[in-house]
């Protein structure tokens, strides 16, 4: 099942997760550890327009989308970050879309504590 992109205006608003709690269910998966081949602030996302959310549903992305990412981590924890979808800046890598990470990469447990969710 493909989930259509929501209203473009809502997607491109830059609302930092530091100001608004974004649960894991609203995030898309990215291999933050292994898909940053050259720059620490750029992560490869996909070779086409589709990424998976937490429920393994297909989400369509395009350049300029503001996305909230997660990655599985040891002991049931996850890692969170957020950023903007960009075209692949690396000619030797197979991605179509990457994400410029804005702010810090953060463990879910710490993120939840910050918002009083634990």
Q: What is the mean pLDDT of residues 22-26?
A: 93
Q: Would you say residue 18 lies in a domain? A: no
List, in order, residues 6 or more apart from 4 with CB less than 8 Å away: 60
Residue 117 banded pLDDT, cuts 50, 70, 90:
confident
- Quote the pLDDT of residue 114: 87
Distance CA 32, CA 64 (A): 19
Give pTM, 2 decimals.
Answer: 0.81
Q: What is the mean pLDDT of the chain?
A: 86
Count of positions (residues) in the chain: 118
Q: What total of structural domains would you count in the chain?
A: 1
Q: Which domain holds residue 60?
A: 2-13+23-114
Rounded distance between C-alpha atoms, residue 20 and residue 12, angstroms: 15
Query: Is the per-residue pLDDT at 74 higher than 90?
Result: no
pLDDT digits (tens, 9 = 90+) for 60-72: 999 999 999 999 9
Alpha-carbon radius of gyration of the chain? 14
């Amino acid at each position: 099942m493909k989930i259509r992109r929501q209203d473009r205006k809502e997607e491109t608003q830059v609302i930092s997760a530091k100001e608004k709690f974004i649960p894991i269910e609203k995030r898309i998966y990215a291999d933050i550890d292994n898909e940053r081949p050259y720059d620490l602030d750029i992560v490869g996302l996909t070779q086409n327009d589709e990424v998976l959310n937490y429920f393994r549903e297909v989400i369509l992305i395009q350049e300029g989308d503001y996305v909230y990412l997660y990655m599985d981590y040891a002991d049931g924890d996850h890692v969170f970050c957020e950023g903007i979808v960009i075209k692949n800046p690396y000619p030797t890598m197979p991605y179509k879309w990457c994400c410029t990470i804005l702010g810090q990469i953060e463990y879910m447990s710490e993120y939840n504590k910050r918002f009083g969710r634990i």
